[in-house]
Amino acid sequence: MKRVIIPVLLLLATIFEAVPQEGVDYRAEVSAHGSSGIFAPYYMTANRYGVVANGSGAYARAGAFIRMDSTRRFSYAAGIDLIGRYETSSPVRQYQNGQWTTNYVRPNYFAIQQLYADVKYRAVFLSVGIKERNDESPITDRRYSSGGLVLSGNCRPIPQIEAGFHRFVDIPFTKGWLQIKGNIAYGKFIDDNYLRSHYYYYSSFLTTDVYYHYKSAFFRTNPLQPLVFTIGIEDGVQFGGTKTTYRDGEIVSVEHSPANFKAFLQAFLPGAGDESTSVGDQLYVYGNHVGSIDMALQYNLRDHSYLKLYTQWLYEDGSGMGKLNGWDGLWGLSYHKEGKCLVTDAVIEYLDLTNQSGAIPWEPNDRPGTPVTSRVSGGDDYYNNFFFNGWQHNGFGMGTPMSPSIMYNTDGYLRFLYTRVRGGHFAIGGFFDDEWQYRLMASYRISLGTPFIPARSTYRQGAMLIECSYTPKRLKGWSFCGAVAVDAGNMTGDNVGVSISIVKSGSLFRFKKSDTHK
């Protein structure tokens, strides 16, 4: 991966020097949070790119950015975003050297949150590096939604190379009545140290050195019409890696999944693995696929606001793609209005992941010689996989945070425990005046465990956030934010937390703008 990224970054740096943009912006933030629990409350961690995790702590964050200029035919962007932090530790129960111990771990004191370079020509772009990439979903809004089912902006960014359309473009011969947007990305998970520090090495497995692939394609009708229909598909893949299986703390097997050129092609075009892959990949499909079929119907109002009805149908195999998993998915209604008014955004969502194509999976290939030749699809166990540690990065789930991430497993179990989850989410936000902004969020969810580890009783969890921001006009570029969050339930526990942050942003310097147009 380094052999590819470093030369591309050098090439892009040469281009940046030759073609000046509008200028360089900066953003600096100091934040502190405290809570009564081991981990920060739900809404202080969810969909924040893994910045906040444990119960109490503080961080300083600083970044410099060159913004993409969408009005130009050729443009570029770049950014560097660094975090220095200190958080309280969380306990992890581990089995090592024949005995159980409790280790106390905390996030790294220093992290590169973003380091990227982008170029675009007309509507086509190329992006290389570590970047927070989930802010422009055609379906959900990261700030107000509970989170997308495939990618939600919940975990730390994955280093990757991405290419595609940076905006919707007209499909030829449709006269603007049909547009397309899509992308393709390959990357590498960088959380091996996190996984090793949290794993209990007892009677399960640990998979490291894993690669990442993502692709999407969305179609949209004319956005200038009163009714706009969007439909698309997202597909994320974990592939490659080394799976080490333990029993009573001893290694019993090691399996390697290839990450060669053929494997990269198989991640893009799903198909069964060969003799070089795991047995499971040979019987089914190479890699761990997590995808969704997305749809939205938007009604544009005359005052430039809109109402949007949307859904995402989660799938992990053919039964989910064929919608044999019932009502499983995310269902939402959102409102948005430009400007600074009392209500600029409102969202209400219902999440149901309890069907999972039935409780019992049966595959004759799993049991050679069986006289039962029929297949029964079921037990999808969303976000979990027989070879990988789950659809997560650095302890945070990449999909909806409504299914609690593996970081909450203080027993060192690196799999999702609440995949059969159902709940509702509500959010509203706006401005009291030109200087004061607010956001209110609340959710309630229940879980029945997983298809293979059902809960003995129902788990329940409620959460709420009240957040207020002050951006004084007389202090240009300064912003102050305070928040109170409350959790209650037996899924991740009772918790009360507060946070405060101070942000300063502005321009380091400006270039003279050229006359090159789109």
Query: Contact at 8 Å (CB) between 419 and 353?
Result: yes
Confidence class for position 360, pLDDT limits 50, 70, 90: low
Q: Which of 93-107, 303-317, 343-357, 472-486 has the lowest average pLDDT?
A: 93-107
Q: What is the mean pLDDT of residues 90-106?
A: 84
| pLDDT the model gives residue 139 | 92
| Tokens standing for residue 498 | 């507060």
Percent of the chain at pLDDT exceeding 90:
68
> SS in 3 state form for 385-433?
CCCCCCCEECCEECCCCCCCCHHHCCCCCCCCCCCCEEEEEEEEEEECC
First to last CA, the chain: 33
pLDDT at 269 over 80: yes
Predicted pLDDT of residue 21 = 62
Q: For residue range 42-73, list pLDDT tens digits in order.
A: 999 999 999 999 999 999 999 999 998 888 89
Q: Is the pLDDT of residue 97 over 70?
A: yes
pTM: 0.89
Q: Cα–Cα distance between 146 and 441 in angstroms, integer?
A: 9
pLDDT (mean) for 385-401: 94
Is 249's pLDDT higher than 60? yes
**pLDDT at 472 exceeding the cut of 70:** yes
Predicted local confidence at residue 517, as pLDDT = 45
Average pLDDT, the chain: 89
325 pLDDT band (50/70/90 cuts)?
confident
Interval 275-285 mean pLDDT: 66
Comparison of pLDDT for 376 and 59, the residue scoring more: 59
Q: Would you say residue 112 has pLDDT above 90? A: yes
- The predicted structure's pLDDT at residue 488: 97
Q: Which residue has the tokens 């009545």?
A: 177
| 175-200: pLDDT as tens digits | 989 999 999 999 999 999 999 988 88
Domain boundaries, the chain: 42-47+68-418
Mean pLDDT of 302-330: 90
HSE-CB for 471 with a 13 A CA cutoff: 14
Confidence at residue 516, expressed as pLDDT on a 0 to 100 scale: 45
Q: Is the pLDDT of residue 277 over 90?
A: no
